Amino acid sequence: MLTKETATRDSDISTADRILEAAGQLLAEGGYEALSMRKLAAKIGLSQAAIYRHYADKDELVGRIVATGYAELVAMVEGIAAKGGSPEEILAANIAAYIEWAAARPVIFKALLLREIGPAGAGVEALAAGVARRRRTFGLLAEILERGMAEGRFARADAELTAQALWTAMFGLASRVVLEGEVPPERRAALVERHIDLLLRGLRP
């Protein structure tokens, strides 16, 4: 039975999600400076007070966008790792999944990774030393690389540095897919396949 309390809670969840989605769009379009509670309120037809009932300030809102997007990526990477397979198979699956995620989520990809996002930017850092300890996605990538090195499948190297190099290569292709928009799926698949082939060759002893 739908009670008044349940309906109100569902409405609040829906409103919070609408705010988050619209904020992501503004962030993707113009970055941190383009996002304001005033613009956000106008975009979704709410008062600024209504937005503040869900999010204390802009930084909390951006932080939630980062957390939501990163949680999707962590779940994706962990799901691939859980299926098992050789290091090459797991890496190939991760590369393909990352590109498809970017293609399917262009707004969140732009918002998180192609724009300046203020203080929340520390949550998406990729090139600093120690990132494999602080970010689950990089930690998992470094782990599979270390496994491949231990099994003699990959050349010995710094696993974290190698993970960062692999990520920047994936990020480059994902960025072009997002920025160029309608890349036909068959063309995207061919690019991903070639990308994987080149990257895995570079890892071999």
Res 40: pLDDT: 93
The rounded distance, in Å, linking the Cα atoms of 67 and 162 is: 25
> What pLDDT shows up at residue 182?
81
Which of 128, 117, 156 minimizes the C-alpha distance to 30? 117
Cβ proximity of 165 and 155 under 8 Å:
no
pLDDT at 13: 58
181-202 pLDDT, tens digit per residue, is: 888 999 999 999 999 999 999 9
Quote the pLDDT of residue 112: 86
Distance between CA 6 and CA 4 in Å, rounded?
5
**Residue 87: predicted pLDDT:** 97
Q: What pLDDT sits at residue 4?
A: 36
In sequence order, the 6+-apart residues with CB closer than 8 A to the CB of 125 are 131, 135
Task: Supply the pLDDT for residue 3.
Answer: 37
At 154 the pLDDT is: 98
Q: Which of the residues in the chain have pLDDT under 50?
A: 1-11
Tokens describing residue 170: 């994936």
Cα gap 8→19, rounded to integer Å: 16
8 Å CB contact between 178 and 109: yes
Q: Are 173 and 192 in contact (CB under 8 A)?
A: yes
| Structural domains of the chain ordered from first start | 4-203 (1.10.357.10)
